[in-house]
Amino acid sequence: MTNPASSTAPAPTLEDAIAALDALPAPHGLPAWTPAAEVPLDRASGEALRSRGLEYRTIDARDDAAYERFVQAISRGFLEDRAEHLVGWRSTLLQLDGRLVGVFDPAAPHAETPVATIGTWGTGLVLDPGCIVPMWAISVVTVSSTHRRRGIARAMLEGELRAAAGAGYAVAGLTVSEATIYGRYGFGPSVGARQFTIDNRRAGWVGPRPVEEGRGRIDPIEREEAMRALASLHAETVAERPGEVTGWPGLWRDAAGLHPEEEEKGFRAVQYTDDEGRVRGVVVYSIKEADGKAALRIQSLLAASTDAYAALWRFALTHDLIGTVTANLRSLDEPVRWMLEDQRALTSTEHDHHWVRILDVAAALGARRYRAAGSVVLEVEDPLAITGGRFLLTVDDEGTGSVQQLSADAAPDAAVVQVGISELSSLLHGEARWGTLAAAGRVMADATATAWLDVAFAPAAPLQLSIGY
């Protein structure tokens, strides 16, 4: 007999499934932070914009009309018909206690539609295995072309940085569409990315073959299952993957190819399960014809073990009827290159990806670990006066760093290095090298100091930020 209650219960929606991801265990070592929605707007930026006849205020994402106007403004700023991907972003933003900020022109014909936008929320940034700091994530930065060159972007960005620093965030971060804008605010490219194209027909394989050797199995899964598996694997492993951010529930909808705008791409998903029945890896991909050849494009690939990583890449590279495999936002030091018999089958394009801005030198440098004992005085120039000054970085034999702010007349027995906040932000993860920036004239230091810094700051594992935001 049918249970009446069960027959009338509505089927779970995709939004329900995304919200359920919030119940997954938090990443190990996740720090606390003040929610962005509770951080007041910067007073100096408000006054600067008011002097230009503009208003600076937050937008209530729960207000349908206000949020629709915000989306319209972003669409205009990014030259899109409509930023459909932001419609579902609202629930994620509310989950994250994020905030939306707009600049308004009271004299404009549509005075309630912002002429500039910015969105922010708190998340964690992994500096080193087991070392996570609070990060002020910044997105959807737009200024209408009708209101350019009025100092709006400067007021908004400087205001966000001062607000975040005042709320105790160690760093701010963003993934950029234009690389020439953010250095002036103290951001620096900290983690790069590669886009791969691999010619399957010539690549060959010299890596592990776990499935063929009886270790684990590969199976197709539904994208909703992939979404949950990606979220679970990320939460389990992210603390050990420097360069990554700790993430948020809505992120996994797009990673699993479930965004309504992308239905026509026909995403598929496969998981790798180990001998104990644990899901250890997931790949989400699509296949399309190009110039008479089938190409497999990887949307997401996340693995928690070497066997899972090898099995998923081998699946993609031996897929029937496929000529090429492409993948974006991969590490600059991706292991799959060393699994190919012919490395020339892999071509790649390198680009900057994650731009970071240190907001608290002592908190940021003191949070990560180092590879060599020693000490150095860092004279940090910050044009925005958020966190500049003289700092003594001391690293003990265990790789633990401590940072002490120095008075102007202090003279510890340590080499002195002069560095700008943008350059220091680029050097934070260790992907950029102190010696390289010194050779480029971006850091002032002697060869002995830069040699020690290059060893001390070397990353413990390949750096990667596998998402954009």
Q: Which helix (H) or strand (E) holds 454?
A: helix 447-456
Mean pLDDT of 30-55: 97
In this model, does residue 62 exceed pLDDT 50? yes
The DSSP line for 57-97 is: EEE-TT-HHHHHHHHHHHHHHTT-S--GGGTTHHHHHHHTT
Binned at pLDDT 50, 70 and 90, residue 303 comes out as very high
| Closest among 409, 408, 419 to 445, alpha carbons compared | 419
CATH number, domain 31-186, options 3.40.630.30, 3.20.20.80, 3.90.79.10, 2.40.50.140: 3.40.630.30
Query: Quick one: pLDDT at residue 250?
Result: 84
Q: What SS3 class is residue 377?
A: strand
| Closest among 264, 270, 230, 267 to 250, alpha carbons compared | 230
Tens of pLDDT, residue by residue over 157-201, are: 999 999 999 999 999 999 988 888 999 999 999 999 999 999 999
Binned at pLDDT 50, 70 and 90, residue 2 comes out as very low
d(CA 155, CA 45): 5
Superfamily in which the 360-456 domain is placed by CATH:
SCP2 sterol-binding domain (3.30.1050.10)
Q: Two tokens at 83? A: 């930023």
Tens of pLDDT, residue by residue over 192-249, are: 999 999 999 999 999 999 999 999 999 999 999 999 999 999 999 999 999 999 998 8
Binned at pLDDT 50, 70 and 90, residue 9 comes out as low
In this model, does residue 55 exceed pLDDT 70? yes
Q: Is the dihedral of CA 171, 242, 257, 200 positive or negative?
A: positive
d(CA 257, CA 223): 7
In this model, does residue 264 exceed pLDDT 90? no
Mean pLDDT of 290-307: 92
CB-based burial of residue 389 (10 Å sphere; 0-12 exposed, 13-18 middle, 19+ buried)? Answer: middle
In angstroms, what CA-CA distances link 91 with 16, 129, 208, 231, 432? 11, 31, 41, 17, 36
Superfamily in which the 194-350 domain is placed by CATH:
Gcn5-related N-acetyltransferase (GNAT) (3.40.630.30)
28 versus 111: which is more confidently predicted? 111
d(CA 112, CA 410): 53
Q: What SS3 class is residue 173?
A: strand
In this model, does residue 49 exceed pLDDT 60? yes
Q: Which segments of the chain belong to CATH 3.30.1050.10?
A: 360-456
Q: Which segments of the chain belong to CATH 3.40.630.30?
A: 31-186, 194-350
d(CA 311, CA 303): 9
Q: Two tokens at 151? A: 């100092």
Of the chain, the percentage scoring pLDDT greater than 90 comes to: 82
In this model, does residue 82 exceed pLDDT 60? no
